[in-house]
Amino acid sequence: MKKVIYTKNGVEPIGPYSQAVHASGELLFISGQIPIDPKTNSIDRSDIEGQTEQVMQNIRSILKHQNLNFSNVIKCEVFLQNINDFSKFNDVYAEFFKKGDYPARAVVEVSKLPKNVLIEISAIAVY
């Protein structure tokens, strides 16, 4: 079974995708989130730390809408415009998870991201 998830507290999709999809009663697939502030509908932060913080807040909004939190996240895929930003991104990212309860993760460098942002993260959570 597939259920499209939408929260007004999240970023409005900028293309043909859903904020998240709840599948088969157990899994929530969160589309790649970029650092758009849903209150201003703009990218208000220019450095990797600020953009990572905003992306994680966007993911948090979707999780919260489904009565979940970061402890429910089982996998993240991270796309960085510059792999040299890895350690700065990683420091901010780690703050959202309980130490030792980290999800599986892949981090890759890409040549370009939507709206020329520095980072995009997608996630899978379990109910």
Domain extent for 57: 2-126
| CATH of residue 106 | 3.30.1330.40
The three-state secondary structure class of 87 is: helix
Close Cβ partners of 116 (under 8 Å, ≥ 6 residues apart):
none
Domain count of the fold of the chain: 1
Note down pLDDT in tens along the chain; length 127 residues. 778 888 989 888 877 778 888 877 799 999 999 999 999 999 999 999 999 999 999 999 999 999 999 999 999 999 999 999 999 999 999 999 998 889 999 999 999 999 999 999 999 999 9
